[in-house]
Structure 1
Amino acid sequence: MPMLEWIGKDKVINHHQEIPFRILKYRYGFDNGKESKEKTESENKIIHGDNLEALKSLLPEYEGKVKCIYIDPPYNTGKENWIYNDNVNHPKIKKWLGGVVEKEGIDLSRHDKWLCMMYPRLKLLQKLLKENGVIFISIDDNEEANLKLICDEIFGSNNFVSKLVWRTEGHSDNQFHIKVNHEYILTYVKNRNFIDSAIGHAIDPTTREESNIWKGYAENSITKNGKKNPPSFIDLPVGFPCLERNVKIEKSTISDDFYIEVNDQKFISKEIRNKYNLNNKMPVKLNDLIVSNYKLEEKCTVYSGWANANKLKDFIDNGFKPLKEKDGEITFYLSKNGVIYYKKTREKARNILSVITEMGTTEQMKTELERMEIKKFDYPKPNKLIEYLLKIGAPNSEDIILDSFAGSGTTGHAVLNLNQEDGGKRKFILIELEEYADTVTAKRIKKVITGYGKGKSFIKGIKSNFNFYELGERLFTPDNILNKNIDEETLRNYIYYTETGEQLVKEQVTKNKYYLGSKNNSDYYFYYDSDKITKLNYEFLLTIDKPSEQYIIYADACSIDKNELLEKNIIFKKIPRDITQL
């Protein structure tokens, strides 16, 4: 697999591990159309802060739990005024800090800066995805090739699904000799082994209205005569189903020369069908075909080339009962012309095309934002586009959706629209670095919840809520000491996550208040008090009233001999030395 190299790559490959872990500081909740100091029960989150640090803060609660990620990062056109701000310990990279990234030809390191910015964020996004998760990344020609290579490296080239092309109606860059009217959406799954559940049963909205895809079934004749379809005889037994109540078709009158010619050519060609006047009369019937009360009354042998012949035989062997498959049921029947049809019914169809059209325009979305009293926000993605992507990537009602370049909040808006459409309870997490996280991103979601517009154009609100956060203090001080300002619950959640990779679930199984939880026959204890030194001693051991095969106990100090700890299957971990730093 080709690997991309750039200035600073060796310093950013593991930069996501060097980022200090910060807590999320609750600022306000929004419920019933108003802000509240009290946290709502909502699982929807809007986070103001650097998305690299915010993504890391999400790990204890969300690693491996996000079903769908959509991001719309800077396209690196030289017009976006984005600034490189990652404090990587490298002389060349430090020189980039705080500087606006310029156009091609002016800023010779613009691609290096962009790659250094994207790489650690993508690493964290990959960790947050569920095993059947999907990520969509919008991009254009400026960085598409580079993005594809680093995504192949991070997500695995085998997990690449598609480079969707979105035709951006209504806007084209007229500066180029060839007008650009498209963007890309790179699509990856976390694990290709789960691709069937990763990709939802979405239908491209440009699919013809009369298509059977909308009806929930596929239907076609199984008569197929081509070079890859050698003909064979199939016996249709008594009772074979028919779409018509009564049918009578006389057997085909045909000479033996027909079979000789077919045997020579190995298939029933168009020329042979013309010669023997068989067009619109296939398959050849060796007996009269007689149907009464929707069922074949007498056995009839038919001859043709086939599609799905083996499944037809399985259907016959199954007593004409539908064949169950993981994505639907298959039945066969005769038409009024004696043609055998295949019909596959399914709860949900899938017709996703690689070129996406008729999804609205950024100009239309900008006008929509102005109706929400949000102005001067250029090129917001249209709701319809993101809703369509969510139907692909987050089809289930409880899915979690993440957007770490939230901008105007289109992803959150799309989640609420989709929930209203299908009654789902999807949750969104929006992260926005800029100061407008509250005045634009959150404001838009508030408007969607309360309703917006005037008079006849008023858009009714969608019942929902969210909590607004900012990045808070570091868990560890620069001296690697636990921050005493961090609440105990946050510390306990962090410790349990770093030990088990799972979120802490409160359970009343012991009176010991320092007990965290149990996994793989090991019990975890976090014996910590911000106001005093804690010591693992015999007195503490007497407070443990829950038996376990092994005990992992955190404390500031330990007065029990190592050999005795070993005998009692106790692993002592010193605070803060032995606490894993994410």
Structure 2
Amino acid sequence: MPVLNWIGKEAVVNHDKEVPFRLLKKIKAHSIGETSQNLIIHGDNLEALKALMPYYQGKIKCIYIDPPYNTGNEGWVYNDKVNSPKIKKWLGKVVGGEAEDLCRHDKWLCMMYPRLKLLRDLLSEDGVIFVSIDDNENYNLRQLMNDIFGEDNYIQELIWHSKYTVSNDAKFFSRQHEYILCYSKNISFVKVECAVPRTEEANDRYANSDNDSRGPWKATPLHAKSGKEENNFEYTFKNGIKWKPPKGRFHRFSFETLQKLDVDDRIWFGKDLKSTPSVKTFLSELSLKMKSGSIIPFSIGGHTHKANEQLADLMDKGVFQNPKSVDLIKLLTSMSTDSDDIILDSFAGSGTTGQAVTELNNDQNSNRKFILIEIEDDVAKDITAERVKRVIQKYNYKDGFEYCELDKSLFNEDGQIEEECSFEQLATYIYFTETNTNLDKKAIDKNLIGDYNETEFYLLFKDKGRNILNKDFLKKISKNSKKKVIYADKCIIDDKTLNKHKIQFKQIPYEVKVY
């Protein structure tokens, strides 16, 4: 498989491992409700995605992102030339001296690579990711996705008919579409319902020329392109007409099925009984949905003008440039998720994904959850969160969201655990680094934080100087035969006793793994 190379690639290929683990801090003033599994996070999505790993690795069913298209527009922090102070500082730190020589495509690739790696790790095994893009980086994005997700996990490149008018000042063709690349975590487990609501255009193909009481129908051939020659037979219908598949074609139905269709008057011979026999497919018996093609028309997925109207209905006009269509995100998430699944958008912008998930829940009485990440403070607080808040109020929806900001790193500059880190935060982090799985907070039983693969994990932390593994604590732990890993500030039990009880002591902070 061809490999995409660019200046700075070596520096970012494993950069996701070097990103510091940041704590998340809930901001009650911007949240709705006391408890909610919906999240809106203000902060750099690279660090935010890393912060989500101990809680959501392998749990996200659908990811939709709308990254910068690299058109040259410098209107926001992920500007398309990637020249913002924050990104330039990051590139200089990660890539080094070569950062000054990067072209805009190199910078874009450097920015996207570690983020896509973390997104892949957050996806569930049966999860899918949709990435919106246009011509500027479509080719490079496809190579990145092949590299990170695997070429075998490619599902489809969708084309969204995003504009219903043409631009008369276009130099050549007036572009009216965008691309959406769809990949899976593991295509063997994916169950995407690639179906869309039936359109009037599709229904208009059905007619009722013989006034059948079952309503409009469409003639479908009785023969198929593939089959076995020995299974071909001549069939005589009840009106005496004989039929056999034409040369090179085969029976679509068995003899018994043809009999049932014939008896039920589902065979059409034409008004003069001289047409090739065909079977009637009735519109009334079809699903309300039909197979989706790879082109999403604006009649189904909305368009940019409608997207602006949808935002203006809730917010002041023009508060955000180029929002995505709510219809589009509802379509993609409804295809790829079930009632209780989690949807993530790490380039949240105006919060379209939050509105789409809330409306989908309201339409289907479902319980999908969303996680939105936005780097700009005024956008995250005043647009992303405010829009979702107004949607919730509009539908009087039962759930809210927690608004969080990236807090300090778990480890401070001296390598110590940050003072503001709670017991639950450190427990979740330790369990994740030990087991590579997410901790069920309900399973925490005082100092016993979890049980995995015949090993119990204990944490002595935030206990006012009593974070010591001693004989008093030894009396409190379970007496089963499982191995025990105990994190504490200090241990005053001899090695012989530790070995007797199958205990491995790990000192905080020095033996807490840096993820």
2:406 alignment counterpart: 471
Corresponding letter in the other structure for 1:467: E
Corresponding letter in the other structure for 2:475: L
C-alpha separation in 2, matches of 1:199 and 1:155: 21
Match of 2:291 among 329, 336, 351: 351
1:442-481 deviation line (CA, Å, top 9, x unaligned): 1111221223xxxxxxxx6555421211111211112221
Query: 1:144-543 to 2 correspondence within 5 Å?
Result: 144-170=138-164, 174-195=169-190, 197-199=191-193, 201-203=195-197, 205=199, 208-209=202-203, 223-224=222-223, 230=229, 232=231, 248-250=238-240, 252=242, 268-269=246-247, 305-309=250-254, 335=266, 351-358=291-298, 359-374=301-316, 375-394=318-337, 396-435=338-377, 436-451=379-394, 462-506=397-441, 513-529=446-462, 531-532=464-465, 534-543=467-476
1:40 alignment counterpart: 34
1:49 alignment counterpart: 43
Corresponding letter in the other structure for 1:60: P
C-alpha contact 2:409 2:418 (8 A) present in aligned 1: yes
1:125 partner SS: helix
C-alpha separation in 2, matches of 1:331 and 1:428: 51
More divergent stretch after superposition (338-347 vs 136-145): 338-347
Instruction: Give the unaligned 5+ runs of structure 1.
Output: 100-106, 237-246, 255-261, 271-303, 321-329, 452-459
Corresponding letter in the other structure for 1:471: L
1:499-551 deviation line (CA, Å, top 9, x unaligned): 223333355796xx211121122111012236437332333211213524211
C-alpha contact 1:222 1:306 (8 A) present in aligned 2: no
Cα distance change on mapping 1:337 and 1:445 into 2, 3 Å: closer
Percent identical across equivalent pairs? 38
C-alpha contact 1:225 1:269 (8 A) present in aligned 2: no
Cα distance change on mapping 1:522 and 1:228 into 2, 3 Å: closer
1:340-397 deviation line (CA, Å, top 9, x unaligned): 9598989785512111112332223223323323334211111111111112222x11
C-alpha separation in 1, matches of 2:375 and 2:482: 46
C-alpha separation in 1, matches of 2:143 and 2:444: 49
Are positions 1:127 and 2:62 aligned together? no
C-alpha separation in 2, matches of 1:368 and 1:137: 21
Cα distance change on mapping 1:226 and 1:462 into 2, 3 Å: closer
C-alpha separation in 1, matches of 2:164 and 2:232: 56
Match of 1:568 among 485, 490, 501: 501
Following superposition, the deviation at residue 95 of structure 1 comes to: 6.6
Are positions 1:28 and 2:22 aligned together? no
More divergent stretch after superposition (120-129 vs 521-530): 521-530
Following superposition, the deviation at residue 96 of structure 1 comes to: 9.1
C-alpha separation in 2, matches of 1:463 and 1:74: 33
1:242 alignment counterpart: none
Cα distance change on mapping 1:47 and 1:251 into 2, 3 Å: closer
Corresponding letter in the other structure for 2:239: I
Cα distance change on mapping 1:558 and 1:225 into 2, 3 Å: closer
C-alpha separation in 1, matches of 2:8 and 2:407: 28
C-alpha separation in 1, matches of 2:229 and 2:411: 72
Match of 1:62 among 56, 63, 84: 56
C-alpha contact 2:460 2:487 (8 A) present in aligned 1: yes
Give the RMSD, CA atoms, in angstroms: 3.7
Corresponding letter in the other structure for 2:222: T
C-alpha separation in 1, matches of 2:240 and 2:262: 25
1:19 alignment counterpart: 19
Between Structure 1 and Structure 2, which shows a larger proportion of helix residues? 2
C-alpha contact 2:62 2:333 (8 A) present in aligned 1: yes
Corresponding letter in the other structure for 1:526: L
C-alpha contact 1:409 1:442 (8 A) present in aligned 2: yes
Corresponding letter in the other structure for 1:185: I
TM score, norm. by length of structure 2: 0.83
Give aligned pairs, total.
Answer: 484
1:85 alignment counterpart: 86
Instruction: Give the unaligned 5+ runs of structure 2.
Output: 207-213, 270-276
1:193 partner SS: coil
2:223 partner SS: coil
C-alpha separation in 2, matches of 1:77 and 1:424: 38
C-alpha separation in 2, matches of 1:346 and 1:522: 53
Q: Larger Cα Rg: Structure 1 or Structure 2?
A: 1
C-alpha separation in 2, matches of 1:225 and 1:429: 47
Match of 2:107 among 99, 113, 118: 113
C-alpha separation in 2, matches of 1:234 and 1:219: 25
